[in-house]
Structure 1
Amino acid sequence: MRHLIIIIFLLIIPGLLFAEESAYVFVVDGNLYPLYGYKIVPTHKDNLYITKIAPIKKWIASVKSQLIVARDGYVYPVKDSIIVDKAKGIAVLLVDFYGRKSLYFNPEENLTDRDISVLIENKQSVIAKVNKIFSSELKKFGINQGRKIYSSSDYNALAEYYENSGQWDKAISVYEKLLKEDPKNQKIIKKIGILYYQISDFKKAREYLLMLPANEEVIAKVAGIYIIEKNFEGALKVINNSGLNSPYLHYLKGIIYYLSDKKNDAYKEVSILLNMDNRLAQNLRDLLK
């Protein structure tokens, strides 16, 4: 019994140690067929990985090939690679979030080398070397005052990666960091507002959307949040206070009056719309029947 427990322990522990290291680099040919595959080690930054030099050498030697990183069901093209410890044969890879595609093969079935012990043992020293000796790479890697951070472009890529993969809480966190650097960036403000809406934090969504200029799209989104909350007076107030007089906002007011059982007021919006947009007038009239 004791020997059985020891065997089970020895089988489980390696899996626990390397469970988070499920990242790979592959050399693929012109048809994206995997030629050589190597296990690699993620770092504390989602776009930076530690690898042996071997896959880079294979890539250089293989005609019309490219390097890709495979992780969590996706592949990412490698946009840069740097040798950080030639004696130990260690390099780092920087991936391109914008080039992400769904994983189309099983990495474990195509591996040339699974051994990442040297990478694990040197992980911290490799990061330290990246921070210390690559002065020419500061902008690329976003290194500042001896501490590795993301550059603005890396933050944008990371935020979009989280946004597109449905990790909206993480995307919000990154976008909010970007907003601190550029507080008047309307594109980022809008993204944060919409992401808060998607996670159903309507109060925060409204807060950010109201930071934007009062155009039809913004007012309609804010009014829509009030409608979801069944705060029809709030929805009407934000439209009336906007000073805008567009057909769509009159149509939206008609819907709000309809939802709040004020059909007479809703029909008044139909009359206004008849002189502005016949199609919207007819749609609202059909709703009120």
Structure 2
Amino acid sequence: MTTRIFIDGAAGTTGLEIRDRLQGREEFELLVLDDAQRKDETARREALHEADIAILCLPDDAAREAVKLAEGSNTRIIDASSAHRVADGWTYGFPELIGHEKIAEARFVSNPGCYPTGFLALVAPLVRAGLLPADWPYTVNAVSGFSGGGNALIERFNSHPDIAFRTYGLDLDHKHLPEMKRHAGLEHPVLFAPSVVPAHRGMIVEVPLHLGAMAARPHSDSLRQALGQFYAEAPVVKVVQDEAVSELLLHNDAQPHDGLELRVFGNEGGWNARLIARLDNLGKGASGAAIQNLNIMCGLPETTGLRL
């Protein structure tokens, strides 16, 4: 028996990648609307009601509208927007942190954001373990390929090849802040400094820490070991324990990848640390995460169809 899937917003970057990954998989039947129908409310409502699982790849307001259109159906929903990441009644779709069983049983799953995926993968397990304090003023420095901004930002970078670097979120009120605070179990919002470089895909998320100023004075080696233990059975997340590198790179020709790579760098003595996550903003940061959650919701091996 196949599972009927409707991707609402299949023309965007995330939707296109999800559709590409699902085509040819015999477990699924894709419900597809043509260009005229995909903006027609009646056609969308019918598809949302006909589907077993709908994946929303829409702006936040449109995602909320889609959930209302699905009312009265039994359709399960994966929302790739940020509309429901801290909403009551929604399960946060980060199986390594939330638990696979919760996602398997959920009707409404909210896909994590790309930047929060890196931050939460690094910080949430360490706060839970008591190695990092929940009341620390955390800073996040992050850089992404321009595809993370959707079609408008892709067009901007492609049409203005002189753009070398873009920093934004300068009002200090980025939409990812509630998500990072809630799911890391923090007492304060993080100070988030996102930026974009002229590469299509790829992302580095960094959390610098002055461990020596913390009351418990944790050592960088302890953080690395704890992350390794936490993700020991996670096929999508890799904690690098012993690789000595002097730099981390993003490449213009990077291929799609659904894994998440975590590193902890410490100075001599271990009292300063840089926690760094590297991922594909369109992979584990978006489409890959949606496919992973879809697999779990359908009782399939979670890595089926992933590029690892």
The TM-score bracket by the shorter chain reads: under 0.3
Larger radius of gyration: 1
Relative to the length of structure 2, the TM-score reads 0.24
